Chains A and B, each alone.
Chain A
Protein backbone atom coordinates (compact mmCIF):
# COMPACT_ATOMS: atom_id res chain seq x y z
CA UNK A 1 0.00 0.00 0.00
CA UNK A 2 1.25 3.53 -0.73
CA UNK A 3 2.36 5.53 2.31
CA UNK A 4 -0.22 8.30 1.84
CA UNK A 5 -2.87 5.69 2.38
CA UNK A 6 -2.17 5.18 6.09
CA UNK A 7 -3.29 8.63 7.29
CA UNK A 8 -6.53 8.10 5.37
CA UNK A 9 -7.02 4.73 7.04
CA UNK A 10 -6.30 6.29 10.41
CA UNK A 11 -8.95 8.86 9.70
CA UNK A 12 -11.48 6.18 8.82
CA UNK A 13 -10.65 4.18 11.95
CA UNK A 14 -10.92 7.30 14.11
CA UNK A 15 -14.27 8.12 12.52
CA UNK A 16 -15.68 4.69 13.31
CA UNK A 17 -14.36 4.78 16.88
CA UNK A 18 -15.85 8.22 17.56
CA UNK A 19 -19.16 7.33 15.89
CA UNK A 20 -19.35 4.08 17.86
CA UNK A 21 -18.63 5.87 21.12
CA UNK A 22 -21.23 8.53 20.36
CA UNK A 23 -23.95 6.01 19.56
CA UNK A 24 -23.23 3.97 22.68
CA UNK A 25 -23.27 7.17 24.75
CA UNK A 26 -26.55 8.40 23.29
CA UNK A 27 -28.11 5.00 23.86
CA UNK A 28 -27.11 5.15 27.51
CA UNK A 29 -28.34 8.72 27.75
CA UNK A 30 -31.70 7.48 26.53
CA UNK A 31 -31.81 5.18 29.54
CA UNK A 32 -31.82 8.18 31.85
CA UNK A 33 -33.90 10.57 29.75
CA UNK A 34 -36.87 8.60 28.52
CA UNK A 35 -39.98 8.42 30.62
CA UNK A 36 -41.06 4.81 31.06
CA UNK A 37 -39.66 1.32 30.83
CA UNK A 38 -40.95 0.57 27.34
CA UNK A 39 -39.45 3.74 25.91
CA UNK A 40 -36.15 3.20 27.66
CA UNK A 41 -35.93 -0.15 25.95
CA UNK A 42 -35.52 1.59 22.59
CA UNK A 43 -32.18 3.15 23.47
CA UNK A 44 -30.06 0.11 24.27
CA UNK A 45 -31.76 -2.21 21.79
CA UNK A 46 -30.83 -0.03 18.82
CA UNK A 47 -28.06 2.43 19.49
CA UNK A 48 -25.85 0.06 21.43
CA UNK A 49 -25.96 -2.43 18.60
CA UNK A 50 -24.71 0.11 16.09
CA UNK A 51 -22.26 1.57 18.62
CA UNK A 52 -20.56 -1.75 19.15
CA UNK A 53 -20.85 -2.42 15.41
CA UNK A 54 -18.88 0.75 14.62
CA UNK A 55 -16.13 -0.09 17.13
CA UNK A 56 -15.85 -3.60 15.66
CA UNK A 57 -15.66 -2.10 12.17
CA UNK A 58 -12.75 0.09 13.32
CA UNK A 59 -11.05 -2.94 14.86
CA UNK A 60 -11.44 -4.90 11.62
CA UNK A 61 -9.87 -2.16 9.52
CA UNK A 62 -7.06 -1.67 12.03
CA UNK A 63 -6.05 -5.32 12.12
CA UNK A 64 -6.38 -5.63 8.35
CA UNK A 65 -3.94 -2.72 7.97
CA UNK A 66 -1.43 -3.71 10.66
CA UNK A 67 -1.26 -7.51 10.43
CA UNK A 68 -2.21 -7.81 6.77
CA UNK A 69 -4.78 -10.54 7.07
CA UNK A 70 -8.47 -10.22 7.37
CA UNK A 71 -9.97 -11.03 10.76
CA UNK A 72 -13.44 -12.50 10.84
CA UNK A 73 -14.00 -12.57 14.58
CA UNK A 74 -15.40 -9.03 14.62
CA UNK A 75 -17.96 -10.02 12.02
CA UNK A 76 -19.02 -12.94 14.19
CA UNK A 77 -19.32 -10.71 17.25
CA UNK A 78 -21.59 -8.29 15.41
CA UNK A 79 -23.70 -11.11 13.95
CA UNK A 80 -24.18 -12.62 17.43
CA UNK A 81 -25.05 -9.18 18.76
CA UNK A 82 -27.64 -8.63 16.05
CA UNK A 83 -29.18 -11.97 16.90
CA UNK A 84 -29.21 -11.59 20.68
CA UNK A 85 -30.08 -7.91 21.23
CA UNK A 86 -33.65 -8.12 19.80
CA UNK A 87 -34.35 -11.33 21.69
CA UNK A 88 -33.28 -9.71 24.95
CA UNK A 89 -35.43 -6.67 24.26
CA UNK A 90 -38.40 -8.88 23.41
CA UNK A 91 -38.05 -10.91 26.61
CA UNK A 92 -37.63 -7.78 28.74
CA UNK A 93 -40.73 -6.11 27.34
CA UNK A 94 -42.71 -9.33 27.55
CA UNK A 95 -41.78 -9.64 31.21
CA UNK A 96 -42.70 -5.98 31.73
CA UNK A 97 -46.12 -6.52 30.14
CA UNK A 98 -46.75 -9.50 32.38
CA UNK A 99 -45.69 -7.49 35.42
CA UNK A 100 -48.07 -4.72 34.25
CA UNK A 101 -45.41 -2.05 34.55
CA UNK A 102 -47.00 1.37 34.27
CA UNK A 103 -46.52 2.93 30.85
CA UNK A 104 -46.16 6.66 30.25
CA UNK A 105 -49.55 8.41 30.37
CA UNK A 106 -49.32 9.40 26.70
CA UNK A 107 -49.06 5.79 25.58
CA UNK A 108 -52.03 4.63 23.55
CA UNK A 109 -53.51 1.13 23.45
CA UNK A 110 -51.72 -0.31 26.46
CA UNK A 111 -52.67 -4.00 26.41
CA UNK A 112 -54.97 -4.47 29.38
CA UNK A 113 -54.81 -8.18 29.82
CA UNK A 114 -52.54 -10.81 28.35
CA UNK A 115 -53.82 -14.27 27.84
CA UNK A 116 -51.95 -16.83 29.91
CA UNK A 117 -51.18 -20.34 28.74
CA UNK A 118 -53.44 -22.89 30.33
CA UNK A 119 -51.49 -25.49 32.17
CA UNK A 120 -52.14 -29.00 30.92
CA UNK A 121 -54.17 -31.03 33.38
CA UNK A 122 -51.63 -33.83 33.63
CA UNK A 123 -49.03 -31.50 35.09
CA UNK A 124 -51.51 -30.33 37.71
CA UNK A 125 -52.48 -33.86 38.55
CA UNK A 126 -48.87 -34.94 38.91
CA UNK A 127 -47.88 -32.01 41.05
CA UNK A 128 -50.88 -32.41 43.34
CA UNK A 129 -50.15 -36.10 43.69
CA UNK A 130 -46.54 -35.47 44.53
CA UNK A 131 -47.58 -33.14 47.31
CA UNK A 132 -49.52 -35.90 49.02
CA UNK A 133 -47.65 -37.63 51.84
Chain B
Protein backbone atom coordinates (compact mmCIF):
# COMPACT_ATOMS: atom_id res chain seq x y z
CA UNK B 1 0.00 0.00 0.00
CA UNK B 2 1.24 3.47 -0.78
CA UNK B 3 1.13 6.51 1.42
CA UNK B 4 -0.91 9.11 -0.48
CA UNK B 5 0.45 12.65 -0.45
CA UNK B 6 -3.01 14.08 -1.03
CA UNK B 7 -6.37 12.49 -0.45
CA UNK B 8 -7.93 13.61 -3.73
CA UNK B 9 -5.06 12.47 -5.95
CA UNK B 10 -3.23 9.59 -4.25
CA UNK B 11 -1.40 8.67 -7.46
CA UNK B 12 -1.14 11.70 -9.77
CA UNK B 13 0.76 9.86 -12.51
CA UNK B 14 -1.83 7.10 -12.63
CA UNK B 15 -4.62 9.67 -12.87
CA UNK B 16 -2.99 11.41 -15.82
CA UNK B 17 -2.42 8.05 -17.50
CA UNK B 18 -6.04 7.01 -16.96
CA UNK B 19 -7.30 10.24 -18.47
CA UNK B 20 -5.07 9.82 -21.52
CA UNK B 21 -6.10 6.19 -22.00
CA UNK B 22 -9.76 7.12 -21.65
CA UNK B 23 -9.49 9.84 -24.30
CA UNK B 24 -7.61 7.46 -26.60
CA UNK B 25 -10.28 4.80 -26.09
CA UNK B 26 -13.04 7.28 -26.94
CA UNK B 27 -10.94 8.75 -29.73
CA UNK B 28 -12.15 12.26 -29.04
CA UNK B 29 -11.26 15.32 -27.01
CA UNK B 30 -14.82 16.61 -26.64
CA UNK B 31 -15.36 18.49 -23.36
CA UNK B 32 -17.85 15.86 -22.19
CA UNK B 33 -15.33 13.08 -22.65
CA UNK B 34 -12.64 15.06 -20.85
CA UNK B 35 -15.04 15.62 -17.93
CA UNK B 36 -16.02 11.94 -17.77
CA UNK B 37 -12.37 10.92 -18.09
CA UNK B 38 -11.39 13.29 -15.29
CA UNK B 39 -14.09 11.87 -13.01
CA UNK B 40 -12.83 8.34 -13.71
CA UNK B 41 -9.20 9.41 -13.32
CA UNK B 42 -9.98 10.76 -9.87
CA UNK B 43 -12.40 8.04 -8.73
CA UNK B 44 -10.44 4.94 -9.76
CA UNK B 45 -7.18 5.78 -7.89
CA UNK B 46 -9.15 6.71 -4.75
CA UNK B 47 -10.90 3.33 -4.85
CA UNK B 48 -7.80 1.28 -5.66
CA UNK B 49 -4.74 2.99 -4.15
CA UNK B 50 -4.78 0.60 -1.22
CA UNK B 51 -3.77 -2.21 -3.54
CA UNK B 52 -0.85 -0.39 -5.14
CA UNK B 53 2.70 -0.91 -4.08
CA UNK B 54 4.99 2.09 -3.88
CA UNK B 55 6.80 2.48 -7.18
CA UNK B 56 10.30 3.84 -7.66
CA UNK B 57 10.40 7.30 -9.16
CA UNK B 58 11.47 7.75 -12.73
CA UNK B 59 14.84 9.44 -12.57
CA UNK B 60 15.38 10.00 -16.25
CA UNK B 61 12.01 9.59 -17.99
CA UNK B 62 13.28 10.78 -21.38
CA UNK B 63 15.57 7.75 -21.52
CA UNK B 64 12.44 5.60 -21.67
CA UNK B 65 11.77 6.80 -25.22
CA UNK B 66 15.11 5.62 -26.58
CA UNK B 67 14.70 2.44 -24.58
CA UNK B 68 11.32 1.71 -26.18
CA UNK B 69 12.59 2.49 -29.67
CA UNK B 70 15.44 0.05 -29.13
CA UNK B 71 13.04 -2.61 -27.82
CA UNK B 72 10.75 -2.18 -30.83
CA UNK B 73 13.68 -2.60 -33.22
CA UNK B 74 14.76 -5.69 -31.28
CA UNK B 75 11.23 -7.10 -31.43
CA UNK B 76 11.30 -6.91 -35.23
CA UNK B 77 14.73 -8.59 -35.34
CA UNK B 78 13.51 -11.19 -32.83
CA UNK B 79 10.58 -12.04 -35.07
CA UNK B 80 12.76 -12.49 -38.12
CA UNK B 81 15.16 -14.72 -36.17
CA UNK B 82 12.46 -16.87 -34.64
CA UNK B 83 10.69 -17.13 -38.01
CA UNK B 84 13.94 -18.29 -39.58
CA UNK B 85 14.46 -20.90 -36.87
CA UNK B 86 10.91 -22.19 -37.25
CA UNK B 87 10.93 -22.30 -41.04
CA UNK B 88 14.41 -23.75 -41.51
CA UNK B 89 14.09 -27.53 -41.17
CA UNK B 90 17.81 -27.95 -40.60
CA UNK B 91 18.11 -25.22 -37.99
CA UNK B 92 20.17 -26.32 -35.03
CA UNK B 93 18.55 -25.59 -31.73
CA UNK B 94 20.72 -25.29 -28.68
CA UNK B 95 18.08 -24.62 -26.04
CA UNK B 96 19.19 -23.85 -22.52
CA UNK B 97 18.01 -22.43 -19.25
CA UNK B 98 20.16 -19.54 -18.15
CA UNK B 99 20.30 -18.24 -14.61
CA UNK B 100 20.52 -14.48 -14.89
CA UNK B 101 21.75 -12.57 -11.81
CA UNK B 102 19.71 -9.40 -11.47
CA UNK B 103 21.20 -6.05 -10.61
CA UNK B 104 17.80 -4.38 -10.36
CA UNK B 105 16.05 -4.56 -7.04
CA UNK B 106 12.64 -2.92 -7.39
CA UNK B 107 9.71 -4.99 -8.59
CA UNK B 108 8.50 -2.78 -11.40
CA UNK B 109 11.84 -2.47 -13.22
CA UNK B 110 12.27 -6.25 -12.92
CA UNK B 111 8.85 -6.72 -14.50
CA UNK B 112 9.84 -4.41 -17.34
CA UNK B 113 13.12 -6.26 -17.81
CA UNK B 114 11.53 -9.70 -17.88
CA UNK B 115 8.86 -8.52 -20.35
CA UNK B 116 11.59 -7.11 -22.55
CA UNK B 117 13.52 -10.37 -22.37
CA UNK B 118 10.43 -12.28 -23.47
CA UNK B 119 9.79 -9.97 -26.41
CA UNK B 120 13.36 -9.90 -27.70
CA UNK B 121 15.47 -12.39 -29.67
CA UNK B 122 15.33 -16.04 -28.67
CA UNK B 123 14.68 -15.67 -24.95
CA UNK B 124 11.66 -16.13 -22.68
CA UNK B 125 11.84 -15.25 -19.02
CA UNK B 126 10.58 -18.31 -17.22
CA UNK B 127 10.96 -17.88 -13.50
CA UNK B 128 11.91 -15.32 -10.90
CA UNK B 129 13.51 -16.81 -7.82
CA UNK B 130 11.75 -16.08 -4.57
CA UNK B 131 14.42 -13.76 -3.23
CA UNK B 132 14.13 -11.74 -6.44
CA UNK B 133 17.84 -11.96 -7.22
CA UNK B 134 17.84 -14.32 -10.18
CA UNK B 135 15.77 -14.63 -13.31
CA UNK B 136 15.65 -17.99 -15.04
CA UNK B 137 15.55 -17.51 -18.79
CA UNK B 138 14.80 -20.10 -21.43
CA UNK B 139 16.74 -19.45 -24.62
CA UNK B 140 16.03 -21.08 -27.95
CA UNK B 141 19.53 -21.11 -29.38
CA UNK B 142 22.41 -20.21 -27.12
CA UNK B 143 26.08 -20.90 -27.59
CA UNK B 144 27.71 -19.13 -24.70
CA UNK B 145 25.61 -18.39 -21.64
CA UNK B 146 27.90 -15.69 -20.30
CA UNK B 147 27.63 -13.89 -23.63
CA UNK B 148 23.84 -13.88 -23.40
CA UNK B 149 23.95 -12.60 -19.83
CA UNK B 150 26.36 -9.81 -20.76
CA UNK B 151 24.25 -8.80 -23.75
CA UNK B 152 21.07 -8.52 -21.69
CA UNK B 153 22.99 -6.63 -19.02
CA UNK B 154 24.38 -4.14 -21.53
CA UNK B 155 21.36 -3.65 -23.75
CA UNK B 156 18.47 -3.68 -21.30
CA UNK B 157 19.33 -3.84 -17.63
CA UNK B 158 21.82 -0.96 -17.49
CA UNK B 159 19.46 1.50 -19.26
CA UNK B 160 16.61 0.44 -16.98
CA UNK B 161 18.84 0.88 -13.96
CA UNK B 162 19.70 4.36 -15.13
CA UNK B 163 16.07 5.24 -15.75
CA UNK B 164 14.85 4.07 -12.37
CA UNK B 165 17.56 4.02 -9.79
CA UNK B 166 20.52 6.27 -10.37
Contact = CB atoms under 8 A, between A and B. Distances in A.
Interface of A: 23, 26-27, 29-30, 33-36, 38-39, 41-43, 45-47, 49-50, 69, 71-73, 75-76, 82-83, 85-87, 89-90, 93-94, 96-97, 103-104, 106-111, 114-115, 117
Nearest to A76: B24
Contacts of B138: 38-39, 41, 93
Of B96, B97, B99, which is in contact with the most chain A CB atoms at under 10 Å from its CB? B97
A23 B27 CA distance: 28
Interface stretch (B47-55, B78-86, B101-109): B78-86
A110 B124 CA distance: 14
B79 A33 contact: no
B25 A83 contact: no
A46 B79 contact: yes
B114 A108 contact: no
B127 A93 contact: yes
26 contacts: A23-B79, A29-B86, A30-B82, A38-B95, A39-B138, A42-B122, A43-B86, A45-B118, A46-B82, A49-B75, A75-B24, A76-B24, A83-B115, A86-B119, A90-B115, A90-B118, A90-B124, A90-B125, A93-B124, A93-B127, A97-B136, A103-B97, A106-B94, A110-B97, A111-B97, A115-B129
A97 B127 contact: yes
Interface string B110-121: 000011111100
A46 B94 CA distance: 18
Interface of B: 21, 24-25, 27, 75-76, 78-79, 82-83, 86-87, 93-99, 114-119, 122, 124-127, 129-130, 136, 138, 140, 145
A86 B126 contact: no
A89 B114 CA distance: 10
A58 to B, nearest CB: 16
Contacts of A115: 129-130
A96 B97 CA distance: 13
Given A75-B24, A115-B129, A107 B114 contact: no
A78 to B, nearest CB: 10
